[in-house]
Amino acid sequence: MLKYICVPCGYIYDPQIGDPDSGIAPGTAFENIPNDWVCPICFVGKDEFEPVK
């Protein structure tokens, strides 16, 4: 599973960790996160994230 970076702030979404504070369980692929999820640091939407190469 790919990691994704928030372009505005640099937060890395790691699917192995998830985002437990937002109810995203470890092992959740970025594609499977609900569309209304936002970056836990700067609160932008999923459309502001890019895959980490």
Looking at every residue in the chain, the average pLDDT score rounds to: 97
Binding-site residues for Fe cation sit at 6, 9, 39, 42
Q: What stretches of 1-53 adopt beta strand conformation (E)?
A: 4-6, 12-13, 49-51
Residue 22 dihedral angles phi and psi, to the nearest 5°: -105, 10
The mean pLDDT value for 32-50 works out to 98
pLDDT at 53 over 90: no
Q: Are 26 and 20 in contact (CB under 8 A)?
A: yes
pLDDT at 4 over 90: yes
CA–CA dist 51, 28 (Å, integer):
15
User: Quick one: CA dihedral 20, 14, 32, 10, positive or negative?
Assistant: positive
Give tens-digit pLDDT for 12-23.
Answer: 999 999 999 999
Binding-site residues sit at 6, 9, 39, 42
Q: Which domains, and CATH codes, for the chain?
A: 2-49 (2.20.28.10)
